[in-house]
Structure 1
Amino acid sequence: MSETLSPSSPGPGAIPRLMRLAFHTGFLLLLGIATARVFLTHAAGPTSWLAVAMAVLLTAVYAAGAVVRHALHRRWLAMTWLAAVTAVWAGLLVISPDFSWLAFPLFFLHLHLLRGRHALVAVVVVTTLVVTAQRWHAGAWSVGMVLGPVIGAGVAVVITWGYAAIYAESQRRQALIDDLTRTREQLASTQHQAGVAAERERLAREIHDTLAQGLSSIVLLLRAAESALPAEADKARARIAEAQRTAADNLDEARRFVRDLRPPSLTGAGLPQALRRLCEDTARESGIDCRFQTDGVPVELPSGYEVALLRAAQASLGNVVRHARARTTVVTLGLLDTEVTLDIYDDGVGFDPAAARPAADGSGYGLTALRERIGALGGRLTVETTPGDGTAVAIRLPLTDEEIR
């Protein structure tokens, strides 16, 4: 049987291969038995050879449909094939009533390939042909020649409709399972993100309440000790000053780490407000004309996105202030349907990206670290610059319903 079914019937591939193989085998087996009976009944006469020839033709037409079943997705071609199979079978029915046995598999073919009322009309026509042929060959009516085809047609219709109902129910169950699977994955992702955020908050509190506070106390104690030393204790004063500097440096590192975990500029405000304040601070402190603009409808982004984009803007503007010698820089936040973008452009001196290398003192890794940070979120960072022609840093992060909260 062809796998090309109507939109209201089971689709391609739904019927297991064993069922298709059984159907094809049954069709050809019934055709072979009927042909053999005709051949033996007519003692190899012209009628028997005509039946054999038409049986071979029916086999060829039927097999052609099975071989090129993918081409039968074109409805006109499928209807042509079905009409050819039915017409050759009708010719065999004229030769002998034994070929009435093929009506049962033909019922299924019509029910699968035709739609709604057309399928039922085809079943009625096939049943009528069988009853008429048997009456014509027998020369008289009997209850069996009517009840047999009618019952066979009814069974075929009930089986087909039952299978369609079972298949539709299995499709609904599969859709429900897919929805549950997606919901479970989304829940797991949400729980993971919540766990990461909670751990970041915990680390920020721990560092602020223990390490940072302890270092701050050390700095204060060292300052008090330095002021209490007698004037001649130069060596002790030098050691205390060195310890004070070390503690102060580590305190700055602790505070920077806390800021990285939980940016204060994002507390109580969204990313656009934080970026706008950053531009205002940059303009005020450096004298550069720093402008901020947005494109698109503002949406609430995940905290990971907001932190990454804010850090990217801070790092990029820091490079502009330190290296670009620019007069103007523009920060643009874009909120599109499928992605969030951040572009930082300056009209400074630019640089040669191929010649940019980390310095010996450990600086110069900011761009690499920033690219890794954006890449971890599934985004990408590109830098377009040439010496004397300014610099443009472009960041793209994917934005789907799972990222928008």
Structure 2
Amino acid sequence: MADVAGVEQRWTAYLRRGPHGMLAAGAVLSLATADPVGMTTAERYTALVLTGAAVVLQLWFGRWSRDRPPAPSAAGTRYYFARWALGFALSWCNPFFAFYAAAGYLGPDRLLRGRALKAGPVATAVVVAGSQAGGMPLRGPSAWLLFGGLLCVHLALLAVFGQLAAREEERNRLQTATIAELERTNAALRRALDENAALHTQLLARAREAGVADERRRLAAEIHDTLAQDLTGIIAQLQVVANTPDPGRARAHVLRATDLARHSLGEARRSVHNLAPVALADAGLPEALRKTVGEWGERTGVRAEFTVTGTAEQLHGEVAATLLRIVQEALSNTARHADAARAGVTLSFLGEEVILDIRDDGRGFDRAATGERTGTGGFGLPGMSARAERIAGSLTVESEPGLGTAVCARVPLVRHD
């Protein structure tokens, strides 16, 4: 954009000052060649008057165009042809004044438009060719023949340079349009960046809010899956103690209640520090699930089995904790609602996926009738599903009245870092 502005400034400077220099050059050469050319006294006085008129014309144009950019206009057209007329008359007095007339070759498109833009350079070519042919008036056929040849050469040059000028003008126009488009694009990009920055700030704020809400839900599910279940187990053990007259049996249930209380205390401490479940602290997921299933079966009296298929791998802590919690919740639902005789848990490592199946032969339920709720305050199946989805997994449930229940969780295999 700066180059285009520089070109326009140079053209403005030429249109104001260039003709002054060309008039001065023509006047000096005409004065020096007055005798060889054979200028009469009348021609000399006429040239002096016309030179003064040309100076006045140039001063007027310089003042008029001082605060105006060079652009075609009616005043510019009048100035151009007035200058041409003075140049024609001066070259009639002395051919060397054609220097002033030749000023019409440069920058006509910044003064003329329409038909005048074509007529102006042709008229200038007539004056220059006539001066080169010996000056006006032409004398003899040879002078006219020379004038015709020179005029044809000038017109051919005008056509060639006109084409070049048109191409350059088109190139400048395209460059200007491209720069303007780039400026508009940059402005739009700046606006988009500002909008993106504002949206990014809003997204960060919403992400923080969503993170807080998600953490609250996670902690609620954590308390439900650990402390609430263990407290339920403690209450059940203490109820047995209260209702049995057998001291040995009562002591066994008290010990179980004590173990559950210690387990709950450990889970509470771990939850506060946002660590993995206690069962995973010293063992991998398969061992933690085997221990959990065994203790659950012993506590509930349900025959429970745990199986691992595929090549077991060390899972990321969040993945392992999620699968353990899903098993704990599913087994808790089985103990409370299924009235099952057998239950089984299978952990399968299949390529880049881990599949966890929990099934029982209990009474089952009608999912359509229950709305996929299990009566656990909203943290049953919905809680397990939310846990699986949090680590980009999924959870499906199959159950029918009298045919038991099967829960299947599928999650990506994310290895321990």
TM-score bracket for this pair, using the shorter chain length: 0.3 to 0.5
How high is the TM-score relative to the length of structure 1?
0.43
Say which one has the larger Rg: 2
